[in-house]
Structure 1
Amino acid sequence: MSFDLVLFGGTGDLCWRKLMPALFQAFKHGTLPDGARIIGVGRDDLSDERYRALIQGRFDNVELAKRPSADEFARFAQLLEFVSMDLSKPEHYAYLRAKLAQRQADTVVMYLATAPNLFATIAEQLAAAGLNTPHTRVVLEKPLGHDLASNRAINHTVGQVFTEHQIYRIDHYLGKPSVQNLFALRFGNALFEPLWRREHIANIQITIAEELGVEKRGGFYETTGALRDMVQNHALQLLCAIGMEPPINSHADAIRDEKLKVLRSLKAWSVEALKQDVIRGQYTAG
């Protein structure tokens, strides 16, 4: 099966820190479909070779276990291509369409690893260029907006040009081995599963400890902030995994239904509780 993965935000932090290492691991272990092609999209004026060199240099900053050897990267790099685009210009999408038409892949995935305020623009431009075909899928990386209104606006706009089964809303945190293992601990462990009850557990603390600072993500944090970046998605997903009842099956809808029960059971914060129980910090220079 031929497969094209188009990474909008192909030079961004999420791409090189999370997506490329994961794609390399899939390539290394043979789980990436045969005939795959990975097309990075960004504003930078890069050739394919310069883009490959950029990604190779970024691999020096990921965990040692996830770094490819020179020979491994040389083989992986053959999958990488780059397209320079201004995401607001229709003619650039026409060029992307022509590039994708060169081989007519069986499946095309548009992965939007960009700021959420660009989701609607990209979706509309893809549709205008005829790139919302039935064999196309679109992936929206969290956060989906900055509040309820913007979230609904994104879902409405994307839903106008893609059907629901073509849309994948993703939180990459759920792919972490420790998070995956949590489900096995909850529902596949005969020792813990019967004890995972309020009668046996006094309290649960969720700690997301990171050594990573803001680094070059100042623009992102200036508009999004740590609360939207970490708590309303990553932390709440962990809370759901810890508190949910066993789903009736492993289908995505069944898991979602049980997670929703947890979220609907949460008590809303009062102003008094926020003042007493919440501590916020602010990044400073240095």
Structure 2
Amino acid sequence: MKLDNMAGMSFDLVIFGGTGDLAWRKLLPALLQAHRHGTLPPQGRIIGVARDELSDAAWRALIGERLAAVDSDKRPSAEEFERFAQLLHYQRMDLTRPEDYAQLKGRLAERNADVVVMYLATAPQLFTVACEQLGAAGLATPNTRVVLEKPLGHDLESNRAINAAVRGVFSERQVFRIDHYLGKPSVQNLLALRFGNALFEPLWRRETIASIEITIAEQLGVEGRGAFYDQTGALRDMVQNHALQLLCAIAMEPPINAHADAIRDEKLKVLRSLVPWTQATLAQDVVRGQYAAGMLAGQRVRGYRDEDGVAPDSRTETFVALRASIANWRWAGVPFYIRTGKRLAAHEAHIAIHLRAAPHAIYRTPLCGTNRLDIHLQPRDGLTLHLFASASETRSSSAQAAHAAAGAAPALTPVQLDLDFEQRFGAERVGAYERLLLDVIAGRLNLFVRADEQEAAWQWVEPIMQAWDEQNARGEGPRPYAAGTWGPGAASALVARDGNTWVEEC
């Protein structure tokens, strides 16, 4: 990414929650990478905000210690960090105290930057008070942008309340609702695949595609975040945002241009076309699970209810699989399978586009005898097209010769066309948070979620949450699955009812 229209731009980036987990694990490493790549405008200032009593020097030292522990390829040298540290400043604030916002206003007025970004890397319950206080302090100026991290609310009602409070202070063009999956290079390539190549458009519809699978699998457990996760669960944490955004990217119609609202208008149409849930489909087409103890990568790992911060009788789901349908002409009759979970057999995210079988079989195909396009999101970033080729038969084999003489259909063997984007473009690519933070500074909204998108997503998933609440009241919890597997067996039965399998079962 080039500086282009950001050359010479001055900015202040205020990170609320500047000593928190998100700041040092994601935001500051991403900003360091942008600084290293020369894409972060040099006339910038990064101000960490938290309740801790720290000086600028103490905060810089804290960040330096934590960045020294990141992956070796992203770890800064002493010289790199010294240059980056000149951008780092700290301000003690209590987000409920108006006088603290007045002090922040005074600090920002010291240089009157071209752009001021307020990044709310805090608990969602603080979004409303922070935005209201920013407005009351006169900090919501036309050159101010506010970034809201997920989860934006706990349900539809709380999401609407937060967005209403934000709209009372900021216009929609100033609000950047972040979903870091949209910043992944692989997701950008998904959009380029669809809308930058005429090859796929005639095939991208119900007449050619039999089913679509979206998998976001994690081998990790809750990793010390048990108290947070036990109030959230996989549906809120992954399906309502990441998975549905991927579904939109796959299913949306071509936008009229690459402008933010043109893209987001088409995504909204997909969300509004999702077939609503009924009691029958909730019972048949949704599976929730919770990991139990098991073996993972040769190590015995404990079950979810034994994790720190998790209630011993918790009914929070760590796995979700569901079957979605889109009621429009392009996708009518095509099932979309979404699956996500923790402590699964692999760490990977992919989209599998299963194509329909040839209308008349003149060859013998393998058991999974249809073509498939795999879009790899993590840890790989690339495409694999699964095709079939004629399997050459050894002339010396009398059995094969007799088989051919009898007029049997010749056999096919699977072959793959593989494109690895990291090999093609190089491993030093722009990360998700790096891309998104630069887009916020530049004012590009294309990769951020609009309020009506979020509301439509919450509307669709809320009946699932309500059904699970009713099940919990009856003493019915999620289905257990052993850590290191692909989830409850009911997830396989979910797709098998349509005559399909998950890719690892094929």
**What's the TM-score once normalised by structure 2's chain length?**
0.54
Matched AA of 2:290: G
Matched AA of 1:13: D
Q: Give the aligned partner of residue 138 of structure 1.
A: 146
Q: Give the aligned partner of residue 290 of structure 2.
A: 281
Deviation at 1:110, TM superposition (A): 0.5
Matched residues in 1 for 2:144 and 2:278: separation? 44
Q: After the TM superposition, which residues 127-276 of structure 1 pair with which residues of structure 2 at under 5 Å, given as runs?
A: 127-276=135-284
SS at match of 1:109: strand
SS at match of 2:282: helix
Deviation at 1:43, TM superposition (A): 2.1
Q: Which moved more, 1:58-67 or 1:90-99?
A: 58-67
Q: 1:225 to 1:60 in 2, by over 3 A?
A: farther
Q: After the TM superposition, which residues 25-44 of structure 1 pair with which residues of structure 2 at under 5 Å, given as runs?
A: 25-44=33-52
Pick the aligned partner of 2:111 from 103, 108, 127.
Answer: 103
Does 2:99 correspond to 1:91? yes
Matched AA of 2:251: G
Contact kept, 8 Å, 2:255 with 2:262, in 1: the verdict is yes
Q: 1:244 to 1:129 in 2, by over 3 A?
A: same
Matched AA of 1:245: E
Q: 1:181 to 1:21 in 2, by over 3 A?
A: farther
> Runs of 5+ in structure 1 lacking a partner?
none
Higher helix share: 1
Contact kept, 8 Å, 2:68 with 2:76, in 1: the verdict is no
Matched AA of 2:171: T
Matched residues in 1 for 2:72 and 2:20: separation? 20
Deviation at 1:190, TM superposition (A): 3.8
Deviation at 1:62, TM superposition (A): 4.0
Matched residues in 2 for 1:70 and 1:208: separation? 36
SS at match of 1:275: helix
Q: 1:64 to 1:234 in 2, by over 3 A?
A: farther
Matched AA of 1:284: R
Q: Give the aligned partner of residue 59 of structure 2.
A: 51
Matched residues in 2 for 1:209 and 1:161: separation? 38
Matched AA of 1:278: V
Q: Which moved more, 1:96-105 or 1:187-196?
A: 187-196
Q: 1:247 to 1:64 in 2, by over 3 A?
A: farther
SS at match of 1:23: helix
Deviation at 1:210, TM superposition (A): 2.3
> Runs of 5+ in structure 2 lacking a partner?
1-8, 292-303, 308-506
**What's the TM-score once normalised by structure 1's chain length?**
0.92
Q: 1:280 to 1:111 in 2, by over 3 A?
A: same
Q: CA RMSD in A?
A: 1.9
- Number of equivalent positions: 286
Deviation at 1:61, TM superposition (A): 5.0
Deviation at 1:219, TM superposition (A): 3.8
Does 2:30 correspond to 1:22? yes
Q: Which moved more, 1:46-55 or 1:5-14?
A: 46-55
Q: Which moved more, 1:222-231 or 1:140-149?
A: 222-231
